[in-house]
């Protein structure tokens, strides 16, 4: 590995501080009720605050929840 | 699209010149902000889809590039003067690692009026249709200005911008391309949906907002500001898009138009992290001198939107 052309970190799962979990390359996601949702994008944001209006996806609601 | 209606001496000269390439002679000064704004909008459009009644070679006509440069210089000076006068620019320059949190701070401090709030609760049908006509100037070419930035970025920021743009452009499915979703929405609410349909109705604040985005996207020198602008746009989209859905449903305008905004609730909750962390954060690490430029672009995005929103609310106030 050279310094100019390194191997970059490119994790499949990234936890955003006080925010969602970013998930790359998934084909389907099961929500808390057991319903399976198809994934049709390369990256999705899964709600971790459980306050989203469209679980299991994050809809930005976490930003207006007082911490 | 056909050339827009002139709004003064400069745009009159420009439209004549674009329609008849044989014409020569130098450009007159602009009569007004409106005249200046539609002229720059028209010159930029030559680098997007162009006009069926203009010569395609005009994009690289040196005389027209000179006019464009003067208009761009004036616009950039105006944007930078506003930024320099802001509290956000007075904060210490962020280190590269601080760029994502500095972006969050700029977004959190934004106190511009929210058109989405108005749509959610009070706006009537005509007002919402007027807003959609104004918004169509951008949404019918949604994310096209940022696409120009791709080759100008280092490795990580480039990969992340492509991931974001891929989603904007429908993840490979033309039916899901965002500007196409908006066009379908316009048709469904009875508006015209062809590219550039309502440019002649655009208020100058809207043209300035669009010109600022194109200016940043079209200049390699301004790549950092372009990516900051993109980040601020994405970071202020999910929650307002949800309010737009609620307002459209309240007015019985659900269907494809609310589906467009519905898609943005979910997509931009993802894009905001890609833009702030993976694009702007890594760009600042790789090119530290871009850190301040990223913040300038982000603040400018919110500032031009606030000016547009204030103007729209003013128009609605007069009507009531
Ligand atoms: S984590 Fe974003 S809405 Fe819950
Ligand atoms: Fe979009
Ligand atoms: Fe987006």
Q: What is the pLDDT of residues B245-269, one digit of tens each?
A: 999 999 999 899 999 999 999 999 9
pLDDT at B174 over 90: yes
In a domain, A36, yes or no: yes
Query: What ipTM did this prediction achieve?
Result: 0.94
In a domain, A59, yes or no: yes
pLDDT category of residue A2 using cuts at 50, 70 and 90: low
Contact yes or no for B214/B148 (Cβ under 8 A): no
Which numbered atom of ligand 1 lies nearest the CA of A61? 3
In a domain, A44, yes or no: yes
pLDDT at B133 over 60: yes
Instruction: Report chain A residues whose CB lies below 8 A from the CB of B263.
Output: none
pTM score, whole prediction: 0.97
pLDDT at B21 over 80: no
| Residue A55 Cβ < 6 Å to ligand 1 | no
- Best of B270, B274, B286 to substitute, by most chain A Cβ atoms within 10 angstroms, is B270
pLDDT category of residue A32 using cuts at 50, 70 and 90: very high
The whole domain housing A24 covers 13-64
Which numbered atom of ligand 1 lies nearest the CA of A51? 4
In a domain, A30, yes or no: yes
In a domain, A23, yes or no: yes
Residue A15 main-chain phi, psi, to 5 deg: -95, 120
Q: Which residues 6+ apart lie within 8 Å of A51 measured at CB? A: A61, A62, A65
Mean pLDDT, chain B, as a whole number?
A: 96
A vs B, Cβ pairs < 8 A, gives: 52
Segment B295-318 mean pLDDT: 97
* CA-closest candidate to residue B290, choices B103, B165, B143, B71: B103
Specify the pLDDT at position B25. Answer: 84
Q: Which residues 6+ apart lie within 8 Å of B91 measured at CB? A: B102, B105
Contact yes or no for B264/B238 (Cβ under 8 A): yes
Q: In this predicted model, what pLDDT tens digit does every residue of B39-62 receive, in sequence order?
A: 999 999 999 999 999 999 999 999
In a domain, A8, yes or no: no
Distance from CA of B153 to the nearest CA of A (A): 15
Residue A42: CA count within 13 A, CB half-sphere:
17
In a domain, A3, yes or no: no
The structural domains of chain B, ordered by start, are: 9-81 (no CATH), 97-319 (1.20.910.10)
In a domain, A28, yes or no: yes
Distance from CA of A41 to the nearest CA of B (A): 7
Residue A58: CA count within 13 A, CB half-sphere:
29
Angstrom distance (rounded) from CA A19 to CA A30: 19
> Is A8 in Cβ contact with B238 (below 8 Å)?
no
How much of chain B, in percent, has pLDDT values that exceed 90? 95
pLDDT at B111 over 70: yes
Residue A37 main-chain phi, psi, to 5 deg: -110, 130
pLDDT at A3 over 90: no
3-class secondary-structure state, position A23: strand
How much of chain B, in percent, has pLDDT values that exceed 70? 100
pLDDT category of residue B6 using cuts at 50, 70 and 90: very high
Q: Which bound ligand lies closest to the C-alpha atom of B177?
A: 2
- Residue B92 near chain A (CB below 8 Å): no
Instruction: Report chain B residues whose CB lies below 8 A from the CB of A8.
Output: 155-156
Number of domains in chain A: 1
Q: Which residues 6+ apart lie within 8 Å of B240 measured at CB? A: B114, B115, B116, B117
pLDDT category of residue A44 using cuts at 50, 70 and 90: very high
Token pair listed for B228: 């900051």
Which numbered atom of ligand 1 lies nearest the CA of A21? 1
Specify the pLDDT at position B22. Answer: 80
* CA-closest candidate to residue B212, choices B119, B159, B146: B146
pLDDT at A45 over 70: yes
Q: In this predicted model, what pLDDT tens digit does every residue of A21-31 receive, in sequence order?
A: 999 999 999 99
Q: Which residues of A touch B (CB under 8 A)?
A: 8, 14, 16, 19-20, 22, 40-45, 53-54, 57-61, 63-64
| Residue A48 Cβ < 6 Å to ligand 1 | yes
Angstrom distance (rounded) from CA B75 to CA A3: 40
Segment A4-33 mean pLDDT: 94
Distance from CA of B291 to the nearest CA of A (A): 21
Specify the pLDDT at position A66. Answer: 86
Q: Which residue has the higher pLDDT, A30 or A1?
A: A30
Segment B202-210 mean pLDDT: 98
How far, in Å, from the CA of B238 to the mean position of ligand 1?
11
3-class secondary-structure state, position B221: helix
Tell how strand A21-24 and strand A28-30 pair up.
Answer: unpaired
Specify the pLDDT at position A1. Answer: 44
Residue of chain B whose Cα is closest to the Cα of A6: B155
């Amino acid at each position: 590995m050279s310094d100019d052309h390194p191997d970059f970190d490119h994790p499949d799962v990234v936890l955003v501080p006080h925010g969602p979990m970013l998930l790359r390359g998934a084909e389907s996601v099961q929500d808390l009720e057991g319903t399976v949702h198809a994934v049709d994008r390369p990256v999705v944001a899964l709600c971790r605050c459980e306050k989203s209006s469209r679980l299991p996806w994050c809809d930005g609601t976490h930003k207006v929840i007082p911490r | 699209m056909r050339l827009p209606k002139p709004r003064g001496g400069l745009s009159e000269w420009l439209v004549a010149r674009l329609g008849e390439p044989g014409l020569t002679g130098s450009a007159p000064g602009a009569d007004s902000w409106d005249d200046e704004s539609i002229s720059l909008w028209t010159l930029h459009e030559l680098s997007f889809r162009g006009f069926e009644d203009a010569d395609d070679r005009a994009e690289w006509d040196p005389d027209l590039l000179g006019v464009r440069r003067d208009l761009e210089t004036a616009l950039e000076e105006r944007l930078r003067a506003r930024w320099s006068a802001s509290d956000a620019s007075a904060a210490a320059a962020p280190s590269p690692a601080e760029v994502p949190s500095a972006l969050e701070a700029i977004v959190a401090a934004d106190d511009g009026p929210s058109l989405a709030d108005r749509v959610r609760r009070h706006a009537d049908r005509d007002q919402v249709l007027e807003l959609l006509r104004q918004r169509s100037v951008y949404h019918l070419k949604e994310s096209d200005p940022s696409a120009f930035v791709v080759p100008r970025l280092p490795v990580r920021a480039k990969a992340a911008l492509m991931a974001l743009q891929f989603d904007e452009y429908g993840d490979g499915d033309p039916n899901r391309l965002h500007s196409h979703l908006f066009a379908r929405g316009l048709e469904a609410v009875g508006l015209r949906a062809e590219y550039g349909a309502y440019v002649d109705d655009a208020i100058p604040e809207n043209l300035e907002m669009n010109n600022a985005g194109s200016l940043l996207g079209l200049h390699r020198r301004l790549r950092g500001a372009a990516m900051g602008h993109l980040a601020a746009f994405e970071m202020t989209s999910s929650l307002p898009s949800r309010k737009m859905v609620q307002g459209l449903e309240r007015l019985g305008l659900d269907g494809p138009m609310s589906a467009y905004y519905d898609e943005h609730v979910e997509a931009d909750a993802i894009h905001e992290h890609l833009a702030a962390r993976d694009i702007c954060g890594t760009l600042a690490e790789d090119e530290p001198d871009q850190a301040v430029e990223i913040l300038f672009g982000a603040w400018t995005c919110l500032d031009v939107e606030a000016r547009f929103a204030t103007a729209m609310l003013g128009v609605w106030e007069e009507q009531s």
